[in-house]
Amino acid sequence: MQKRKNKGRVGNEASQRQLRVSELIKRNISKILIDSNFYDHNRKNYSASVSEVRCSADLKMATVYVLPFNHVDPQELTSFLGKNKSAIRHALGKELSLKYLPDLRFKEDTLFKQIEKTNQIFRALEKE
């Protein structure tokens, strides 16, 4: 039996299907987080923006990158969303018609922190 070739994709480049499903998940999770006010037992409001979603090749796992609002601790936010992922998946399942709904994993988006560090380095170099 001959092994299927990777149709023009290089390395870990995502397929069109992965990109399409990732965008659908991103849009719908953002909508879910806006429409459903997520509070913990202390009535702390967890507001977040979904910056990116990456799906695995088999579309069984989706990593959701979030940015917190209102000075919420990012670790606290990802922990809270992880604890409530079954409710989020349930709401997501009502919106999407996929054969398999991916398992969700929430992570902090560190892109803006990396950009700020890079800008600080450039500012320090300009002063020299």
Domains and CATH numbers, the chain: 16-127 (3.30.300.20)
First to last CA, the chain: 63
**CA-CA-CA-CA torsion for 74, 61, 59, 113, nearest 10 degrees?**
20
Query: Which pLDDT tens digits describe the chain residue by residue (128 residues)?
Result: 554 455 545 556 878 999 999 999 999 999 988 877 666 666 567 778 899 999 999 999 999 999 888 777 888 889 988 998 898 999 999 988 888 899 999 999 888 788 888 888 888 888 87
Tell me what pLDDT residue 39 has.
Answer: 60
Cα–Cα distances (Å) from 48 to 34, 41, 57, 82, 124, in that order, read 8, 18, 26, 13, 32
Q: Does this model's pTM top 0.85? A: no
| H helix or E strand, kind and range, residue 62 | strand 61-68
